[in-house]
Chains A and B, each alone.
Chain A
Amino acid sequence: MTTLPIQSGHIVGPNWRIRSKHARRLWEGGVLTSLVLCGTFSILTTMAIVVVLFGEARRFFLMPEVTLAEFLFGLEWNPLLGAEKHFGIWPLVCGTLLVTGIAMLFALPLGLMTAIYLSEYAHRSVRATLKPILEVLAGIPTVVYGFFALTIITPGLQSIYDGFEVYNVFSAGIAVGIMCLPIVCSLSEDALQAVPRSLREGAHGVGATKFDVSVKVVVPAALSGIVAASLLSIARAVGETMIVALAAGNMARNLKAGFDQGAVTGVLSAIDPTESAQTMTAYMVQIFLGDASNFGPEYLSSYAVAAALFIMTFILTVIGHRIRVRFREVYE
């Protein structure tokens, strides 16, 4: 029978069952084994991800109509329509990076400013109301943001400038930015809070204003945490699916046509935020919603795209954590 160890301030006496030494050792061993098995499961998951993604991607590259060189360097992604299929991943990567870039344009400055405000300026009561609101924002499912982008942000943008298409990268980017805001904010705020008081007091003591203290002392001291927060939120934005599937459109941009007319046109066609673009995740959604026949090259191509996505987020997460652990300045 279990009871809370502490009830109304006094300790309830323990009731360890006394077994023979042998039985006890056996029982402890069994428990430890099952816990180790639990732990192994998460390692198995990682291995399964690697095996599934890269195994199927390998099968994709072994197909006659596909080459690894075209996949890595090609500027045309056209697996479903047309007589000639093209598997060059850059149009999808470009879509993903464009959405991520626009999202970060909003999330990083706003998130950092909110974090500085919460950590350095806000009164305790303001903090107590703003933090739960940010938590609510963090808990909203991404499909809701996608709906918001499609029905509110896009019409809003169109009323400002009518060059925006119904599906456009800018509105998806704003929605992803709102989604990332709480992540940037709460992780950066943790980093700012970890800077000890003595640093602030020292700066105040030599005549710094509050602005000097926050921007020239506290932010640099917490920089590693802020960079890590940004990297983690970039990883989230890169892997975001439902928002871009709803609001960014389902046509991969043809970069080749743009670059054929010259480098400037090519770059402009790649970064135009008013038009639609397909991201890596949106392509996977399109395939798994049944636009492709099973086990053709276009079906397997989604595994190759998923492998590329996995590598991107993996690198971002690892670097983010490395920075957080290694460059964390320890203050005593």
Chain B
Amino acid sequence: MNRGAYQPRSRMRRLLKDRLFVILCMIGASLSLLALAILLGSILIQGLGHLDLSFFKDVPSAKPAKAGIGPAMWGSIWVCAACALAALPLGVGTAIFLEEFKPKKPWVRRLHGFLQLNITNLAGVPSIVYGILGLTVFVQLFGIVGNTNDPGFTFGSPDNWYYFQLPLGRGVLAGGLTLALVVLPIVIIASQEALRAVPDSLREAALASGATRWQMIRQMTLPAAVPGIMTGSILAMSRAIGEAAPMLVIAGVVYITFTPQHLMDEFTVMPLQIYNWAGLPQTEFHKVAATGIIVLLAVLLTFNALAVFIRQRFQQPLQ
């Protein structure tokens, strides 16, 4: 007689094992809950005392009591706006290309597959590598047109809001473009999933009634996929706001007390400011860092809630 996997051993022992495993799994699952609770609780306890309105206006200071997150907040807004303007069109465009223009020729199909593989790989590249890439390409432009302090090409003067220079230097635009590289794969993958969820019957109906391929995309597929694309984009932006490593390479830890005035202006962002405070030896600054984290997490939670709201409100089941 062969002893299979379900050879009845002592019934009691098997049932006991079964019960113990459930309990073990529940403990495992509740540990992640516990981790989140401790994390949020400890940060709230440390940081709430410092949180007031002036924290949003004040500049970083040597005195913990006076330190605020003002410039970092404005820096985050500028950089994320630049990032969104660069990443969203590129990402959605790539997703449309990948999902709506499925090729028939074998060698073009291979190119398609290569692009898809390339995007999955880009999603796995550590963000600090993107920072180094941004530093070399955007900030220094390989050093071929002058250096950061002595730009080879300028347009306007640093007092104008439209000031532009090449190489970009450690400015808002370089930071935004670098962040765009980081979140681009996320935007592409999310948009692809949204487009894939649109049923083919809609496409076929449009094509059958005489639409060209682009008219079909513009008036049928895209409108149906917009809620999904927006949800994915908002989540990508919340990733961008929290990203510190590439910003650290681009901006460095600099003492910034002003709001950026133009796209070439030096900047700092909220995660970087938090890193700065958390790394200081004085424990008073850890409380300030915790307050900064509360603000950052509040922004991220708002973003996530918005994404969930859009998903619930606008995503109608399409058959």
Contacts and interface: CB of A to CB of B under 8 A. Distances in A.
B21 A211 contact: yes
B259 interface: no
Interface in A294-326: 302-303, 306, 309-310, 313-314, 316-318, 320-321
A318 B304 contact: no
Contact of B275 (A43, A56, A246): A246
A210 B129 CA distance: 45
Contacts, number: 287
Interface class of chain A by DSSP:
helix
Interface stretch (A63-71, A83-91, A148-156): A148-156
A136 interface: yes
A223 interface: no
Interface residues on A, range: 35 or more
Contacts of A240: 126
Nearest to B254: A290
Contacts of B131: 288
Interface string A111-147: 0011011100110000000100111110111111111
Contacts of A142: 242, 244-245
A178 B243 CA distance: 17
Interface in A1-52: 2-6, 11, 14-17, 24, 27-28, 31-32, 34-39, 41-43, 45-46, 48-49, 52
B299 to A, nearest CB: 10
Nearest to B121: A317
Q: Which of the listed residues B31, B219, B286 has the most CB atoms from chain A within 10 Å of its own CB?
A: B219
Interface in A205-246: 206-212, 214-216, 232, 235-236, 238-242, 245-246
Contacts of A238: 126
A52 B132 contact: yes
Contacts of A306: 128-129, 132
A289 interface: yes
A285 interface: yes
Given A14-B211, A142-B244, A35 B97 contact: yes
Interface in A189-211: 203, 206-211
Interface string B1-41: 00001101000001101100110111111011101101100
Contact of A16 (B117, B124, B210, B243): B210
Q: Which of A35, A110, A147, A289 has the most CB of B within 10 A?
A: A147
Contacts of A288: 131-132, 135, 248-249, 252
Contact of B90 (A38, A113, A151): A38
A136 B303 CA distance: 11
Contacts of B96: 35
Main SS at interface, chain B: helix
A147 B289 contact: yes
B32 A181 contact: yes
A52 B137 contact: yes
Nearest to B24: A113
Which range holds the interface residue count of chain B?
35 or more
Nearest to B314: A4
A42 B17 CA distance: 51
Interface of B: 5-6, 8, 14-15, 17-18, 21-22, 24-29, 31-33, 35-36, 38-39, 42-43, 46, 89-90, 93-94, 96-98, 101, 114-115, 117-133, 135-137, 181, 184-185, 188, 202, 205-206, 209-215, 218-220, 222-224, 235, 238-239, 241-245, 248-249, 252-253, 271, 274-275, 278-279, 286, 289-290, 293, 296-297, 300-301, 304, 316, 318
6 contacts: A143-B244, A144-B43, A144-B293, A242-B275, A281-B128, A314-B121
Interface of A: 2-6, 11, 14-17, 24, 27-28, 31-32, 34-39, 41-43, 45-46, 48-49, 52-53, 56, 109-110, 113-114, 116-118, 121-122, 130, 133-137, 139-148, 150-152, 178, 181-182, 185, 203, 206-212, 214-216, 232, 235-236, 238-242, 245-246, 281, 284-285, 288-290, 302-303, 306, 309-310, 313-314, 316-318, 320-321
